[in-house]
Amino acid sequence: MEISQQLTEEFNLRPDHVRNILQLLEEGNTIPFIARYRKEMTGAIDDQVLRALNDRYEYLKNLEKRKQEVANSITEQGKMTEEIQAAIAAAQTMTEVEDIYRPFKQKKKTRASVAIEKGLQPLAEFILAQEGDPYKEAEKYIDEEKGVATVEDAIAGAKDIIAEIISDNAELRKKLRSLLENHGEMQVKMVKDDEKGTYAMYAEYSEIIPEIKNHRILAINRGEKEECLKAKIYFNPDIAKRVCLAKYLKPNGNADCAKLIEEAADDGYDRLIQPSIEREVRAILTDRASEQAIKMFEVNLRPLLLQPPVKGKVTLGLDPAYRTGCKVAVVDETGKVLDTGVIYPVPPKNDIEGAKATMKELIKKHKVDIISIGNGTASKETEIFVADLLKEVSGVSYAVVSEAGASVYSASPLAVEEFPDYDLTRRSAISIARRLQDPLAELIKIDPKSIGVGQYQHDMDKKRLDSVLGGVLEDCVNSVGVDLNTASVSLLKYVAGLNSGIAKNIVTYREENGKFTSRSQLLKVSKLGAKAYEQCAGFLRIPDGKNIMDNTAVHPESYEKAEKLLSLFGYTDADVRERKLSELPQKVKEYGEDKAAEYCGLDKATMNDIISELVKPGRDIRDSLPQRQLRKDIMSIEDLEVGMIVDGTVRNVIDFGAFVDIGVHQDGLVHISEITDRFIKHPSDVLKVGQQVKAVIITLDKKKQRIGLSLKQVSQKNIG
């Protein structure tokens, strides 16, 4: 089956759309560009489906390449047959291809290869044929010079060869792998305690493979890595050996030959097949669990990056700490640093009055609108201090933000380059302030693995994780759009068609020539050629540019067609600038969408995108999302009671539930069974990071700081 046809079936898409997508990818077009500007060619499928299709396309291409390499190698050895050729063609995975290649691969010295060197291959084949006395046949192979002194030596060597033949059988290995995957049992024992009780549940643990949750696979793997656990997959060896024998024993064959084959199969399974198949199944389980963990990281990262910005607010950032004090940074509406300092409102100094005086002075001096508090060490005490302070200061509110990765960023070369005059603790406070103002612009500077919304990310395949998370960053940046005249290199490098080098060249051009006044000036930037311009132009915005369309997602390739659309309905660029196009969608509808699109030389999907951009030039898709909850007061875990209904924000979605911030420093856990009354496969079917929810407290352990929440019981409680 052709790759294009296979993708068509797997993704349930139209064949012409799949062919177009593959052609666009091969021509070097980026996923964001294809998703946004080639909808008529793709059936308007979104960037996430495009990325999944692209990943599968790359796998299938590599699979075909490996099939060809294996076929060539077997052919060069003069051992290719129609049966092998058909098996290679039918193989669906890399593992199946490697199974087929196994007998033809150059091996290191093995017991079988030693026996073959001694000339015992024909004896092994005689025994497998099961048509005569093997011991009498073995006498022909006694040769002391070759190290075959007795019949027993010859038989032992032949059995080694048979054991390897059985082990190398691709069809058999596939069957055994399937048996282990579907009927094997994971058995785990604790080797040593890690003192925190992290692996207590796995002290004596067993579960059949199909029922093991992905996060447990990763936990067991980590436990083994830390030498706390020892795990194995158990499958009844008697059944496995019968499966091996069934392939080779003949109904009316010589009994002595059959017994030798049975002994060889037992040895081959114990020594060669079982350890190898177990490793393969463990690898399959790990790959599957890793993909799920990476998927969850992707699902959580996207809404975190797309949190609505708190625009137009002078922001004071607080990076809490005990002994070294709480670092303070004030930034203006654009994120420019106005002031920094240190206060000591928490133990051991407890200089609350001094801290209040400093805060009041900074708030008054810089007309601070909002305070952003990092949620790390001493955050709770700092939040209590701020809530108390705001009783004495009017017009100011606060929010607690995740400071995950802030310390990593503040010590990075990028932070040093950005803020050479500040030490790393003050850089961290600046980052915390800016995270509230524009989460995407700030979080983009941090390695996604340090942002705090994943599980087991340090156990994942780095290349695969970086690829997926890089795709999320790229999709988020391009879906929001980037201000060409203010964006940092960190942000620009994720724009479709750009990379770090070109992003630096854009910033250099801006510094040397002043602000960009039109998108077309990008073609003057070093190393930014026509292809890169085609890919990036539509995602870069110039709010005060000469052409109002430069502040929209309308691509320059469609400017003339967009102008034609405007003139058709009697509008001008000035009308666009002054946002007087609210009636355009209705006018187009009355005129006829197909007729209007044909007149302007546009497809309908692109025309509708252009209309929505012209109606609201400069729009930010994040503005339509639920806004961040701002606070002026605080609750303590001591204020909570079972049965209380609280407001919260989803912080992290995991396989077995979600963690929700309810404003008491310690996040509460909503188990998957308490999310909704209806059946869901995964918490992410219902919840996403940053989502505002109402929850009822169902369990509370104040001593251990554990809070159990339910979302589904809120409505039940209200009804009751």
**pLDDT classification of 716: cutoffs 50, 70, 90:** low
3-state secondary structure of 138: helix
Answer yes or no: is pLDDT of 634 > 70. no
Task: Tell me how crowded residue 654 is: count the other CB atoms within 10 A of its CB.
Answer: 19
Choose between 413 and 666: higher pLDDT.
413
In 3-state terms, what secondary structure has residue 140? helix
Portion of the chain with pLDDT greater than 70, in percent: 98
Query: For 643, how many CA atoms within 13 A lie in the half-sphere containing its CB?
Result: 1
Average of per-residue pLDDT across 383-411: 89
Q: What is the pLDDT of residue 720?
A: 44
- pLDDT of 291-314, one tens digit each? 999 988 888 899 889 989 999 999
**88-102, 244-258, 443-457, 499-513: segment of lowest average pLDDT:** 443-457
Q: Is the pLDDT of residue 719 over 50?
A: no
Give Cβ neighbours of residue 346 (< 8 Å, ≥ 6 apart). Answer: 320, 322, 326, 378, 381, 382, 385
* Residue in 659, 705, 664 with CA at minimum distance from that of residue 683: 659
Greatest CA separation for the chain:
104
How confident is the model over 680-694, as a mean pLDDT? 89
| Res 45: pLDDT | 93
CA 622, CA 628: separation in Å to the nearest integer? 11
CA 701 to chain centre: 33
Helix/strand/coil for 209: helix
Tell whether the torsion through CA atoms of 212, 218, 224 and 226 is positive or negative.
negative
Distance (Å, whole) CA 78 – CA 634: 78
The interaxial angle of helices 94-101 and 47-76, nearest 10 deg, is 10
- pLDDT tens-digit profile of 328-354? 999 999 999 999 999 999 999 999 999
Q: Which two tokens stand for residue 497?
A: 């068609």
* pLDDT score for 631: 65
- Domain residue ranges of the chain, discontinuous segments joined by +: 3-103, 315-453, 508-624, 637-719
Residue among 690, 692, 619 at smallest CA distance from 307: 690
Q: Is the dihedral of CA 337, 359, 428, 398 positive or negative?
A: negative
Going by pLDDT thresholds of 50, 70 and 90, the confidence category of residue 205 is very high
Specify the pLDDT at position 21.
Answer: 98
**Fold designation for 3-103:** Arc Repressor Mutant, subunit A (1.10.10)
Contacts for 304 with CB less than 8 Å, ≥ 6 apart: 402, 439, 443, 451, 453, 689, 690
Banded model confidence at residue 499, pLDDT cuts 50, 70, 90:
very high
The percentage of residues in the chain with a pLDDT greater than 90, rounded to a whole number, is 77
Question: Whole-model pTM?
Answer: 0.82
Q: How far apart are CA 720 and CA 717, in angstroms?
A: 5
Q: 491 and 444 in contact (C-beta within 8 Å)?
A: yes
Query: What is the per-residue pLDDT for 635?
Result: 67
Q: What is the pLDDT confidence band of residue 12, given thresholds at 50, 70 and 90?
A: very high
Bridge-based pairing of strands 229-234 and 706-710 is unpaired
Within the chain, how many helices (H) and strands (E) appear? 32, 15
Residue 639 scores a pLDDT above 50? yes
Q: Does residue 380 carry a pLDDT above 90?
A: no
User: Which residue is listed with tokens 């001493």?
Assistant: 378
Contact 539, 478 (CB under 8 A): yes
Instruction: Tell me what the pLDDT averaged over the chain comes to.
Output: 92
- The residue assigned the tokens 């790759």 is 3
Burial of 33: CB neighbours in 10 Å, binned 0-12, 13-18, 19+: buried
What is 637-719's CATH number?
Answer: 2.40.50.140
Tell me, what's the pLDDT at 448? 85
Query: Which residue's structure tokens are 């961040």?
Result: 628
The CA-based angle 336-339-342, given to 5 degrees, is 135
**Domain over 315-453 is classified CATH 3.40.50.970:** no
Return the structure tokens found at 493. Answer: 């490098």
Pull the structure tokens for residue 533. 């311009």
> 279 in helix, strand or coil?
helix
Quote the Cα angle for 655-656-657, to 5°. Answer: 100
For the stretch 21-68, pLDDT in tens is 999 999 999 999 999 999 999 999 999 999 999 999 999 999 999 999
CATH fold, domain 508-624, is: DNA polymerase; domain 1 (1.10.150)
Q: Is the pLDDT of residue 409 over 50?
A: yes
Answer for the pair 649, 589: CB distance below 8 angstroms, yes or no.
no
Rounded distance between C-alpha atoms, residue 694 and residue 691, angstroms: 10
Q: Is pLDDT at 619 greater than 90 in this prediction?
A: no
**What confidence tier does 16 reach under pLDDT thresholds 50, 70, 90?**
very high
Mean pLDDT score, 483-498? 95
What 3 state SS string does 417-473 have?
A: HHCCCCCHHHHHHHHHHHHHHCHHHHHCCCCHHHCCCCCCHHHCCHHHHHHHHHHHH
**Locate tokens 């554990």: which residue?**
706
Q: What pLDDT does residue 705 have?
A: 85
Residues 375-394 have a mean pLDDT of 89
pLDDT for res 633: 65
Average pLDDT, stretch 69-86?
Answer: 95
* pLDDT of 429 higher than 80: yes
Question: Which residues in 436-471 are b (16+ Cβ under 10 Å) and which e?
Answer: bbbbbbbbbbbebbebbbbbbbebbeeeebeebbeb
Instruction: Output the six-digit token pair for 425.
Output: 């603790």
Q: How many CA atoms lie within 13 A of 306 on its CB side?
A: 26
pLDDT of residue 632: 64
Q: Assign 461 a pLDDT band (cuts: 50, 70, 90).
A: confident
C-beta of residue 533 within 8 angstroms of C-beta of residue 497: yes
- Write the pLDDT tens digit of every residue in 476-488: 999 999 999 999 9
- Calculate mean pLDDT across residues 603-631: 86
DSSP conformation letters of 287-303: HHHHHHHHHHHHHHHHH
pLDDT score at 565: 96
Whether residue 165 has pLDDT greater than 90: yes
The sign of the CA dihedral 642, 648, 650, 652 is negative
Instruction: Classify 232 as helix, strand or coil.
Output: strand
